[in-house]
Structure formats: structure tokens, C-alpha cells
Amino acid sequence: MPSLQLFGCWRSSASHRLQIGLRLKQLAFTYTPVCLDRGEQHSGWYVALNPRAEVPTLLVDGEPWVQTLAILETLEETLDGQSDALLPSSKKERWICRAIAEHVNSSLQPLLLPARLRQPILNAGRHLGPTLAAALQTGVRHHQLDALDSLNSWLDSLPGPFCIGTRPTLADVFVIPHLEAARRLGLDLSPFTRLNALHIQCLSLAAFAAAAPEQQPDAPGQNETSSASTR
Ligand SMILES: N[C@@H](CCC(=O)N[C@@H](CS)C(=O)NCC(=O)O)C(=O)O
């Protein structure tokens, strides 16, 4: 098995995905926090691992891998039969899982408009004053609620209790961290009954419970250690 070192941040939904994926695959890894609030992602040692200054990065036998979808797909492919599968066996279900993961990866998570996207927009429209910040916030909330509504309907058309069927897949690995990020943003997700039932179902599994943001050593109130061996 490869040696795996995860560099992440407790409040990063992308780090959260990787945590869940590695745990579902029952792969042992160590965790090293990178504090986004202190800007540690821009420090020289970290940019040498991840030139985009983003978390997470996974060191695989000492080599830095980035982008959670690519990382999990490659582990799935290369450890075929040696670790628990994140993709179902049927071709159609594999496509659906990948489509849901991609929907979160490209249409939902980046459009939460993190500070590094929001700030240049606010700078460019400085003359508009607080109106622009309020408009951006409204736009983000509207887009997220609309996209989550369509995701909820999509999942309603699929067999549960997980995103697709009776086992967690790559789709759940991507959806659950986004639900938690949306809640941290203060969005009201109560109308999305399928998503809420899915969330409860996933949290009943040890892999999801142990990967929860508040369980990480760098979360507020936790006793931070630089590296925790985990599975
Ligand atoms: N598509 C990337 C997303 C990575 C990403 O957006 N990471 C965020 C945290 S969730 C980040 O590091 N942002 C840098 C910052 O806030 O400065 C992946 O799946 O790994």
C-alpha cells in the first residue's frame, strides 16, 4: 500500500472529501493541518507541494498529488481490488456517480465564491460600496439553493438511501462535504428532504463521522497536533 500524507484544513470541503474517500477505502494516512485562516497555504513550504496554494494535497509515496477528484479516481484505478471501491460495478451507475461528483466539484463548490475569488470582484467594484458585497452574497445564495434543489430532485430519482443505492460511493464523498459547507454559510437546507436523509444516513457510518470537520485536530476546540495517524 502507498504511504499517504494528507495536508488539509478542517473547514475545507475539498479536504473533507479526501478524508471521507480515504476512510471509505480503508487506506491509512497521516493528517497535517494547513491553516487557511493564517494564510499557511501561501507559505513557501506548502506552495512547493501545491503551486495553486490550495488544500488538500496528498503525498503519495512522497509525491504531491492535487485535485480531489483526480486523486480519488487514480487511487480507485491503481488500487483496484486492494481497497474498498468508491465506484459501483455497473457502467451506468459509475457514470452517475462521476456526474454527481463533477456537479459538486465544478458547479457548486467553486461558486460558494471563496475569498480569493470574491476579493478581486469587490476590489474591482469598490466604487459601488457595500451594495456589491450584498449583491454577491445574494447571488451566491440563490445559485446554491437552486443547484441544491436540482441535486435533491436528481437524487430523488435514484434509489437510496445513499446517493445511488445501498452503499456509499464517490457521489456521497462529494455531496456530504458540500452540504456541510452550505450549512456553514448559513443556508437553510431544510426543504431538501432527500439530501437531509442522505446526510443522516452517511453520518451513521464511521468513515463519515471520523472525517467530520469538527473532529479534525485543527478544528476550533480540538487539541491540534501536527500529524495524526488515522484510518
Ligand atoms: N478542485 C479542488 C478544490 C480545492 C479548493 O478549492 N480548496 C480550497 C479549500 S476548500 C482552498 O484551498 N482555498 C484556498 C484559499 O482559501 O486560499 C480540489 O478538489 O482539490
Segment 95-119 shows an average pLDDT of: 93
Q: Where are the domains of the chain?
A: 4-85+211-230, 91-205
Cα(174) to ligand 1 centroid in Å equals 13
Architecture of domain 91-205: Up-down Bundle (1.20)
pTM of the full structure: 0.95
The protein residue whose alpha carbon is closest to atom 10 in ligand 1 is 12
Q: Are residues 192 and 148 in contact, defined by beta-carbon separation less than 8 angstroms?
A: yes
User: Among 10, 12, 57, 218, which is best to mutate for testing ligand 1, by the most ligand atoms less than 8 A from CB?
Assistant: 12
C-alpha span between 101 and 17 (Å, rounded):
10
Distance CA 184, CA 180 (A): 6
- pLDDT digits over 122-159, tens only? 999 999 888 999 999 999 999 999 999 999 999 999 99
C-alpha cell recorded at residue 153: 430532485
CATH number of 4-85+211-230: 3.40.30.10
Distance 78 CA to ligand 1 centre (A): 24
pLDDT of 56 reads 98
Q: Residues near 10 by Cβ (< 8 Å), separated by ≥ 6?
A: 33, 213, 214, 216, 217, 218, 219, 222
Find, among 5, 131, 133, 118, the residue nearest to 58 by Cα. 5
Which protein residue has the closest C-alpha to ligand 1 atom 13?
54
Q: Which atom of ligand 1 is nearest to the CA of 56?
A: 20
Q: Which of 9, 10, 22, 54 to mutate to test the pocket of ligand 1 (most atoms within 8 A of CB)?
A: 54
Structure letter (DSSP) for residue 116: H
The 3-class secondary structure across 39-91, one letter per residue, is CHHHCHHHHCCCCCCCCCEEEECCEEEECHHHHHHHHHHHCCCCCCCCCCCCH
> Grid coordinates representing 207?
468513515
**Of 89-98, 112-121, 166-175, 201-210, which gets the smallest average pLDDT?**
112-121
